[in-house]
């Protein structure tokens, strides 16, 4: 703790020094890897302490480790929790603040608030994760991946052992969704369990269920909750049988804690319904809902299920933003909603009257990027995570005034101050212009660390995936703006048609128009950036993108020669081939209007917007990257592009990771990814990379 305090004092002194700017330098991959990933703040019920997670990266060992720390809300030095030896994660205070549930070593644990008397609550062969306390503090809900046909852990252990020891590793499938994201279906399903805090009465609430709670691959503890009286659990699941591959119809279910049949409460809606939250007064279950079935990018509405009337209603029918997260005040009269808005994750305050009618959402936190809010039981102390393009995530804390404003907002943790103080990191400058269809389009400009007035720098256009996604004013854990800029490039980061946070009509505009308005937006954006920022060099430009961004890079390659270099990561090349191999069939159905064997869709989509039909026009040197475990966009898409470019004599390089999926996550693989990207850009654009 003494060394941590000394480092913080040194960092503050450096920041205060007028010579600090002269002594800073460009970030390196080693710096980026040394940043401590702060996340998951949890305020104690009395608001006096915050638990939070810190992820560290060991490149040499090729691994990342998450540990939990605790810190007084008033500030001071953090300490490892429960101790400096235990890798604890998902730490959650009990309702009275006396104990903390957490996961470690793949099992569920509980300890005193101080960290003392830690003991395991589970020893399941299938592991345990995602603890959620009952409001009474007598039980904890969690999830574990089990074989649906097994009635006990001995059966699960035996099946797992047999599968592991079998010399035959073949995959058999009788229906779709036989593989998802980066894993083949191994026959297990994530089930919702409860256990008493003494370790007794361990119970599977959905025995025999052939669906996952919550649905994979990314659902966490936000997918289930326990009612205020402790008698009921609500959870998210997808139980559509053979239709799972081509429907987005998730439902919110309820089930008695004592056991019984799980019942869907959202069955009439054919879009997705997820992430239930009980209001503290027990009257409602809040949840997020998409009205249109089969469309994963439809607006997430904030719904309220009246438990007495058994009816649901949209709380914010005229609000044109997504309800991505929501938190209810202890008196059940205020909802705090997290939503992306014009390139930043913001918090909105929604008041409820006595009849449960919602008022107009009002922004209470909109500077930079804000996520993961947590409230104390007094409803006034709030903590959250904030990051920015030039600043890694830290825990922030403040006080909610009667007006709803956050007063005294300040950074509570300073995990990265010392390292950040050594670096030249430019923030994101807001950038706007008129794009396709006469619409306003927004984005960011980021200067390279080498920037000096009067000099010119190569332009690097970054294209986000999705296509329904958005670049945010955030640090980034994979496609990090600072690591791109450090090579000496000025970044043009645009949120074109299809991006979220600008209204649902703007988001919908990319569907069935993949190579249309979005491409126009990007090209107009490059022109507008060159006109507004004369330090950007029009003779040295590159474009890079992943997923849909990789598709757009491939589309660019067949439609313009204005760029000197391209980087296509996990990019779609042949729409027909991708549609037949991707696992989530609702995606091509929604984006292209139906399957590729449909005549109208073949003519208007698959044969109009597929980059492989324009590959004969490729002239731009292209780096192609993929992962063999990518089942969203199979790596064969990149292989096909590489083959076509090589046969036509176009400068190209192929990088394939056999142990990565859609994202490159392993530290040493990430190191190679950045090395190859900068090597490619540097060779085509100059200056040489500083890696």
142-176, pLDDT tens digit by residue?
999 999 999 999 999 999 999 999 999 999 999 99
* Span 460-472, average pLDDT: 98
Q: pLDDT band for position 555 (50/70/90)? A: very high
Distances (CA, A) of 515 to 218, 509, 556: 29, 11, 9
pLDDT higher than 50, residue 13: no
Q: What is the pTM of this model?
A: 0.94
Q: pLDDT band for position 687 (50/70/90)? A: low
299-326: pLDDT as tens digits: 999 999 999 999 999 999 999 999 999 9
**Confidence at residue 403, expressed as pLDDT on a 0 to 100 scale:** 84
**Confidence at residue 19, expressed as pLDDT on a 0 to 100 scale:** 35
Distances (CA, A) of 295 to 154, 274, 355, 470: 41, 14, 32, 17
Which CATH number is 484's domain given? 3.40.50.1820
How far apart CA 69 and CA 454 sit, in angstroms, is 46
> Which residue is listed with tokens 């950036």?
529
Q: Is residue 617 part of a domain?
A: yes
pLDDT higher than 50, residue 425: yes
Share of the chain above pLDDT 90, in %: 94
Q: Total domain count for the chain?
A: 1
Listed range (17-31, 91-105, 665-679) with the worst mean pLDDT: 17-31
339-355: pLDDT as tens digits: 999 999 999 999 999 88
What is the DSSP-derived secondary structure letter of residue 428? P
651-669: pLDDT as tens digits: 999 999 999 999 999 999 9
Q: Is residue 469 part of a domain?
A: yes
Q: Is residue 147 part of a domain?
A: no
How far apart CA 308 and CA 302 sit, in angstroms, is 19
**Confidence at residue 285, expressed as pLDDT on a 0 to 100 scale:** 98
**Confidence at residue 481, expressed as pLDDT on a 0 to 100 scale:** 98
H/E segment holding residue 669: helix 667-685
**Confidence at residue 21, expressed as pLDDT on a 0 to 100 scale:** 43
User: How is residue 13 written in tokens?
Assistant: 């002194």
Q: Is residue 403 part of a domain?
A: no
Domain extent for 619 = 426-574+610-685
**Confidence at residue 213, expressed as pLDDT on a 0 to 100 scale:** 98
**Confidence at residue 7, expressed as pLDDT on a 0 to 100 scale:** 39
Q: pLDDT band for position 42 (50/70/90)? A: very high
Apex CA 117: angle with CA 113 and CA 118, to 5°?
Answer: 85
**Confidence at residue 20, expressed as pLDDT on a 0 to 100 scale:** 39
pLDDT higher than 90, residue 17: no
How far apart CA 547 and CA 565 sit, in angstroms, is 18
Q: Is residue 449 part of a domain?
A: yes
How far apart CA 512 and CA 531 sit, in angstroms, is 31
pLDDT higher than 70, residue 688: no
Q: Is residue 280 part of a domain?
A: no
* Span 409-425, average pLDDT: 98
Q: Is residue 493 part of a domain?
A: yes
User: How is residue 620 written in tokens?
Assistant: 């731009």
pLDDT higher than 80, residue 197: yes
Q: Is residue 406 part of a domain?
A: no
How far apart CA 554 and CA 569 sit, in angstroms, is 10
> Which residue is listed with tokens 């670049």?
471
Q: pLDDT band for position 404 (50/70/90)? A: confident
247-263: pLDDT as tens digits: 999 999 999 999 999 99
360-390: pLDDT as tens digits: 999 999 999 999 999 999 999 999 999 999 9
pLDDT higher than 50, residue 1: no
* Span 387-405, average pLDDT: 95
User: Which residues are bridge partners to 72 per DSSP?
Assistant: 49
Cα-based torsion angle of the residue sequence 297, 299, 302, 308 in order, rounded to the nearest 10 degrees: -80
Q: What is the mean pLDDT of the chain?
A: 95
> Which residue is listed with tokens 């949120």?
495
């Amino acid at each position: 703790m003494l060394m941590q305090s000394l480092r913080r004092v040194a960092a503050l002194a450096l920041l205060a020094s007028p010579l600090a700017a002269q002594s800073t330098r460009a970030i390196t991959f080693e710096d980026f890897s040394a940043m401590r990933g702060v996340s998951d703040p949890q305020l104690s019920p009395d608001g006096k302490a915050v638990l939070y997670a810190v992820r560290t990266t060991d490149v040499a060992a090729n691994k990342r480790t998450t540990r939990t720390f605790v810190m007084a809300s008033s500030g001071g030095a953090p300490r490892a929790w429960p101790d400096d030896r235990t890798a604890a994660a998902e730490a959650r205070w009990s309702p009275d603040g006396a104990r903390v549930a957490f996961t470690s070593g793949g099992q569920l644990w509980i300890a005193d608030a101080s960290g003392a008397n830690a003991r395991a609550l589970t020893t399941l062969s299938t592991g345990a994760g995602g603890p959620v306390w009952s409001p009474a503090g007598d039980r904890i809900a969690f999830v574990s991946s089990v074989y649906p046909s097994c009635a006990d852990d001995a059966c699960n252990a035996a099946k797992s052992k047999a599968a592991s020891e079998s010399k035959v590793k073949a995959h058999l499938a009788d229906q779709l969704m036989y593989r998802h994201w980066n894993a083949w279906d191994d026959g297990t399903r994530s089930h919702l369990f409860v256990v008493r805090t003494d370790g007794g009465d361990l119970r599977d609430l959905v025995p025999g269920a052939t669906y996952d709670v919550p649905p994979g691959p990314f659902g966490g503890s936000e997918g289930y909750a326990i009612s205020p009286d402790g008698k009921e659990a609500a959870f998210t699941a997808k139980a559509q049988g053979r239709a799972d591959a081509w429907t987005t119809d998730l439902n919110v279910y309820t089930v008695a804690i004592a056991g019984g049949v799980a019942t869907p409460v959202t069955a009439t809606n054919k879009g997705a319904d997820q992430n239930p939250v009980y209001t503290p007064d027990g009257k409602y279950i809040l949840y997020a809902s998409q009205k249109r079935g089969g469309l994963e990018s439809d607006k997430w509405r904030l719904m309220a299920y009246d438990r007495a009337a058994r009816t649901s209603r949209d709380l914010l029918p005229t609000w044109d933003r997504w309800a991505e997260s929501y938190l209810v005040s202890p008196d059940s009269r205020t909802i705090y909603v997290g939503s992306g808005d014009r390139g930043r994750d913001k918090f909105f305050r929604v008041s409820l009257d006595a009849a449960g009618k919602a008022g107009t959402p009002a922004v209470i936190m909109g500077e930079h990027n804000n996520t993961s809010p947590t409230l104390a039981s007094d409803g006034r102390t709030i903590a959250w995570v904030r990051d920015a393009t030039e600043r890694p995530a830290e825990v922030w804390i403040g006080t909610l005034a009667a007006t709803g404003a956050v007063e005294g907002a300040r950074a509570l943790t300073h995990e990265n101050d010392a390292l950040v103080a050594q670096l030249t990191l430019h923030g994101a400058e807001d950038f706007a212009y008129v794009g396709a269809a006469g619409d306003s389009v927004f984005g960011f400009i980021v200067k390279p660390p080498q920037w000096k007035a009067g000099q010119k720098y190569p332009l690097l256009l970054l294209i986000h995936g999705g296509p329904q996604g958005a670049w945010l004013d955030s640090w980034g854990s994979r496609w990090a703006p600072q690591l791109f800029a450090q090579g000496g490039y000025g970044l043009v980061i645009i949120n074109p048609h299809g991006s979220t946070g600008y209204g649902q009509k703007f988001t919908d505009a990319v569907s069935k128009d993949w190579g249309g308005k979005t491409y126009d937006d990007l090209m107009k954006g490059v022109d507008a950036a060159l006109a507004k920022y004369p330090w950007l060099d029009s003779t040295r430009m590159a474009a890079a993108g992943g997923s849909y961004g990789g598709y757009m890079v491939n589309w660019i390659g067949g439609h313009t020669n204005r760029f000197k270099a391209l980087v296509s990561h996990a990019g779609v090349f042949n729409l027909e081939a991708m549609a037949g191999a991707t696992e989530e069939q609702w995606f091509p159905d929604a984006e292209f209007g139906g399957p590729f064997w449909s005549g109208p869709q073949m003519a208007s989509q698959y044969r109009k917007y597929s980059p492989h039909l324009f590959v004969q026009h490729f002239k731009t040197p292209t780096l192609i990257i993929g992962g063999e475990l990518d089942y969203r966009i199979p790596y064969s898409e990149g292989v096909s592009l590489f083959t076509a470019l090589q046969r036509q004599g176009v400068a190209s390089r192929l990088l394939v990771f056999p142990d990565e999926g859609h994202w490159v996550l392993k530290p040493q693989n990430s190191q190679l990814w950045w090395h190859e990207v900068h090597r490619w850009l540097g060779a085509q654009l100059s200056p040489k990379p500083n890696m």
